[in-house]
Amino acid sequence: MLMKKILNASEMKQVRGGAQPSSMCGEGEQLYTCSTSWMGGTVTQGSVCAKSASAAHAAVSKVHMNQDVIRDEVAVVCY
């Protein structure tokens, strides 16, 4: 059975990677992968087009706010 390590907030901040160019993104944007750590230990991952990692983070947090789940968010890391 494959075991996945769930990163804590400190470890998630140290994740390094890079955005990828994508034809799905607008001009000047790249495709960022974002991982969200939730209360209870669940980690979800998705992708977002943005001009920077901080802009990707803001976009993910805005979606969480609109879905009224932001209070359950522990950390978001985009790379």
Domain boundaries, the chain: 17-78
* Mean pLDDT of the chain, nearest integer: 83
Q: Cα–Cα distances in Å, from 55 out to 10, 16, 42, 49, 79?
A: 20, 16, 23, 9, 11
Report whether 8 contacts 41 (CB < 8 A): no
Question: Alpha-carbon distance 71 to 61, whole Å?
Answer: 10
Question: Alpha-carbon distance 63 to 37, whole Å?
Answer: 15
pTM of the model: 0.73
pLDDT band of residue 5 (cuts 50, 70, 90) is low
In this prediction, residues 31-44 reach a mean pLDDT of 92
